[in-house]
Structure 1
Amino acid sequence: MEVFHCETDADVEIPLYEGNCDLMPEEARVCSRVMALWAMGAAKFTYPKDAGLPFGGRDYNPYIRLEMHYNNPNLISGVIDGSGMRIKYIDKLRKYDAAVMELGLEYTDKMAIPPGQLAFPLSGYCIAECTKIALPETGITVFGSQLHTHLRGVRVMTRHFRDGKELTELNRDDFYLNHFQEIRHLWRKPVILPGDALVTTCFYDTRGYQNATLGGFSIQDEMCVNYIHYYPATELELCKSSVSEKTLADYFEFMKKKDHQKIDIRKGRAASYRAIEWTLPHVNELFTMYTNEPLSMQCNRSDGYRFEGYNWEGAPITEVPIQPPQPYTSCSRGGKSLQNSDDCDMFGMCIY
């Protein structure tokens, strides 16, 4: 479930609508700024004392949209759902206005996961060129994070890069479960500066599946997202990517002509992916394309339009070095320094 605010003038009326989100009135498409969200396994989320999500006031449009995703694979009729969202508020503004930003992969069937894979990785990029344009000079502070995939996701992380060097990760879950999508309060609140890059990587287990799994909205499709809660609020709503259109067209053409795959591009991306025989060399070719070729970058405001000032189609990919984690030699517990690295995890957090 997601709650969106309608980002438009206060006097604009949004037509009441209940039904398929793909068919909602054009006037309602401005209702896309995330206010609150919930996924399976999440408990309540409370803002820190110095930040809050602002709403209301003379210039604030009073309309919001509640979007709910259902899964009813057996098409059982007559089911009535009473789910909803309860939002508690106070009447005093806090020091910082907070917001929610989506990192990761664009929801599109341009991305695919071959069948029979133990831990196939897909990465979504928030590149330096986007944060340089969209973030304030002093940066933003991230205090919460919710990692999200569908049924095949088994591991998720968001890595943080500045000037070519990797900083401490924003969040990671090495034992991710789709039915336990907690919203984590971050103990260490990272600051993202203009020019920083964020790379969200999801690993998928597709053993037992016969066809490629595509990106998309259905629970049978896949996503790779990190919803971060941060302050101060900015106009940047989405910082997500997918492979560029030209790269994907060239890839299908290569697979058809050079690898003799039975691809008919006129039938669309989904059919093209599912026409491929997923041998190990073909899996490796797909992985190489995703990790080396240019991006279609979604550096978007909440109205769905991209920030101006850069060509986001064919944007450069962020280089992600692969290196073993360096163990910590000390950490602290209750203010007391611990010298034995066995007492700490790889992030310097204490192991109890």
Structure 2
Amino acid sequence: MFRLVIFVTLLTAICGYSYFQEKIPNGDFIPHPCKPNFVWKGVGHQNWAGGGPRNQFGKDFLAAGKKWTEELCRKDSDADGKTNGQELGDPNCIWRPGTIPEGTVTGISHPGVCDPWGSPQCMDKNDWVSCEGDEFNCPAIHEEGVMTKELIYPRTNVPAKDTTYVCMGFELPSDGDYHIIATTPIINESRVMHHIGLIACGDDFEVTDTPRECSMGLRGCSALIGLWTLGLPGECFYKEAGIRMGMNGMKRGVLQFHWTNPEMRDDYWDSSGLKIYYTNKLRNYDAGTLMTGQQYLEMPPLSPKIVQQSTCSPRCTKYKFTDTIYITTGLNHMHYLGISQHVKLTRANGTEIMLTHDEHYSYDTPVKHKYDSPVPVYPGDSFETVCTYRSLSRKETAFFGEGTFDEMCFGIFNFYPAQNIRGSRNCVTINDFEMCDFKERHCDFRALYNHSNPETRDLIDKVLDVCSYDGHCRHGCRAVVDDVMRNHECFKDGAAEATTFSRMIQADKDTAESLKFVTAMKSCKCDVESSIEYKPVIKDQLLKENEQKVEVDGSNPQEKPTSSGRQLLFSMYVLSLMLSVAMTGL
């Protein structure tokens, strides 16, 4: 089963990130000009949360080398008659990072927004400022009978590294049947928190009651049921559907955090969490989350445009969808190099529907695409996920992965009814290999993981008897590997590289032997196959032996070779013939 990982990663390189707030006086107390009690976190950007186009102060900050200089302090970026220093509580331009500004926070104003707000002289200058509320708007959470449960981490030290995934298990209400209808974040340390995901786990999953690093997920937990990421106030599910929880649904879940700590500080502590809203007044449908996209990415450095694509084919939707599903929301997801993305739905009759289209993608301010009416998707329809990247700032190739400098390409959709998708609710590819193809194969992974299984034992011995796991391509190995790759259901048609190799290493109890097997299978991928190893036959040895024979019986070795001499002569003949064949390529 495809292991779901919630992937929303963050690379801090713009003013919208919290640590840039520390580079200017009172950077974490900048009020929004038209939203009471609302802090403008991305001070240098037009978007209050950060990311996207910079405002004039952000442009001036960038020109100053992203430092608070005297010149920047005395500049009036928003042209409202007050210097940036006056607006930020440093009128004398004496503040330095790590010190307390001389002014008070009560008189702070935004250095990129003209004041007074609403005045005639500022109307045209502030036409880019949005006053629409970003507060969570979900009327259903106020309905009678709606209950809440807070899933909160204990106070935990954030590791001093740029990217950390950490997981903690929680028991969920199971004394009845419920629908989760909404989730909201509980953010304790906004300087490192980038996303929170709630993942459903099987009944046999052993709940971990303390936070621990979990890389790209935990085995036994696969279905995403709740997601918060930077820029989203919460998640409100479609009015006719909810995530099933309780006696006939999910009973255990894992709360996964993604911390981003680019400064690698060791003094951050976090106790964030997720609040779920649920009801025993069940809705008409169970909701679920579908993911499309590409799991093989390779972006060379210094490239102005790189396009990666993935297709969830009609064949896969026919197999995975038992009936029509209805999509209610869509979300694009890439990392820092991503600049645009779309997911297009194509009907069997050729009709095309654009589900998500972010012409200017910003991974720290994701756009949740909502549809006026749920979009039906039929078995036989297809999804095309297209991600575009720019790597001009990179000196090394970027690949698919969870880290800050890795990349991703996914479309994430809420849909109903959940039971209309069988198995994993993901339709993804690894290069051109469609993961749904595994379900149509006769690949017995349980047997493959069991090294005492006779067929598996024969397979491993067949490869290790001929192939080396020490980095050399032995003679005859390529033929053995080609045979396995062509004929074994678990390895043929690209399945080996797409998933089988990694599954064997992850799932096998005998990891050491699995590593040897996989390494041996790959030993001839790039290397040139070695020639046959022969015992050297030395001409001088043959002559010396014949000379000794002449001294003993006076015979002529040219007329009557000895038995030993004949064997050596034959060996030399065979060797010369083999060398001749090898050199001529016959």
TM range (shorter): 0.5 to 0.7
Match of 1:113 among 289, 299, 315: 299
The equivalences for 1:89-100 within 5 A come to 89-100=278-289
The alignment's TM-score, normalised by the length of structure 1, stands at 0.65
Match of 2:221 among 15, 20, 31: 31
Tell me the equivalent position of 2:213. 20
Determine if the alignment matches structure 1 residue 129 to structure 2 residue 315. Answer: yes
CA–CA distance in structure 2, aligned partners of residues 31 and 190 of structure 1: 28
Q: Which amino acid aligns with 2:219?
A: R
Tell me the equivalent position of 1:168. 353
Q: Which amino acid aligns with 1:121?
A: V
Q: Deviations over 1:158-200 (max 9, x none)?
A: 0112337241111111011111113222235321111111011
Find the residue that maps to 1:159 and give its secondary structure: strand
Q: Contact 2:201 / 2:221 at 8 angstroms: preserved in 1? A: yes
CA–CA distance in structure 1, aligned partners of residues 326 and 250 of structure 2: 27
Q: Contact 1:134 / 1:307 at 8 angstroms: preserved in 2? A: no
| Cα shift at 1:18 | 2.4
CA–CA distance in structure 2, aligned partners of residues 52 and 23 of structure 1: 26
Determine if the alignment matches structure 1 residue 190 to structure 2 residue 375. Answer: yes
Match of 2:389 among 188, 195, 204: 204
CA–CA distance in structure 1, aligned partners of residues 216 and 340 of structure 2: 33
Q: 1:141 to 1:152 in 2, by over 3 A?
A: same
Determine if the alignment matches structure 1 residue 213 to structure 2 residue 408. Answer: no
CA–CA distance in structure 2, aligned partners of residues 64 and 8 of structure 1: 10
| Cα shift at 1:128 | 1.6
Q: Contact 1:119 / 1:154 at 8 angstroms: preserved in 2? A: no
| Cα shift at 1:61 | 5.1
Q: Which has the higher contact order (CA 8 A, sep 6+)?
A: 1
The alignment's TM-score, normalised by the length of structure 2, stands at 0.40
Please state which structure has a larger fraction of its residues in strand: 1
Q: Which amino acid aligns with 2:291?
A: E
Where in structure 1 do 4 or more consecutive aligned residues deviate above 6 Å? Answer: 310-313
The more displaced of 111-120 and 91-100 is: 111-120
> Root-mean-square deviation (CA), in Å?
2.5
CA–CA distance in structure 2, aligned partners of residues 149 and 23 of structure 1: 16
Tell me the equivalent position of 2:245. 55
Q: Contact 1:141 / 1:189 at 8 angstroms: preserved in 2? A: yes
Q: Contact 1:7 / 1:33 at 8 angstroms: preserved in 2? A: no
Q: Contact 1:156 / 1:200 at 8 angstroms: preserved in 2? A: yes
Q: Contact 2:340 / 2:389 at 8 angstroms: preserved in 1? A: yes
Tell me the equivalent position of 2:203. 8
Match of 2:256 among 67, 85, 90: 67
CA–CA distance in structure 2, aligned partners of residues 196 and 23 of structure 1: 30
| Cα shift at 1:307 | 3.0
When the two structures are aligned, how many residues end up with a matched partner? 250
Identity value in percent: 24
Q: Which runs of 5+ in 2 are unaligned?
A: 1-195, 443-488, 495-586
Q: Which amino acid aligns with 2:288?
A: A
| Cα shift at 1:298 | 2.4
Q: Which amino acid aligns with 1:44?
A: G
CA–CA distance in structure 1, aligned partners of residues 206 and 364 of structure 2: 37
Q: Deviations over 1:180-227 (max 9, x none)?
A: 113222235321111111011111111122222111111211111111
Find the residue that maps to 2:273 and give its secondary structure: coil
CA–CA distance in structure 2, aligned partners of residues 80 and 183 of structure 1: 29
| Cα shift at 1:23 | 9.2
Q: Contact 1:135 / 1:193 at 8 angstroms: preserved in 2? A: yes
Q: Which runs of 5+ in 1 are unaligned?
A: 244-294, 301-305, 316-352
Q: 1:96 to 1:186 in 2, by over 3 A?
A: same
CA–CA distance in structure 2, aligned partners of residues 64 and 126 of structure 1: 28
Q: Contact 1:114 / 1:211 at 8 angstroms: preserved in 2? A: yes
Q: 1:308 to 1:120 in 2, by over 3 A?
A: same
CA–CA distance in structure 2, aligned partners of residues 314 and 171 of structure 1: 31
Please state which structure has a larger fraction of its residues in helix: 2
Tell me the equivalent position of 1:238. 426
Q: Contact 1:159 / 1:166 at 8 angstroms: preserved in 2? A: no
CA–CA distance in structure 2, aligned partners of residues 50 and 188 of structure 1: 12
Q: 1:8 to 1:296 in 2, by over 3 A?
A: farther
The equivalences for 1:289-308 within 5 A come to 295-299=432-436, 307-308=439-440
| Cα shift at 1:73 | 2.5
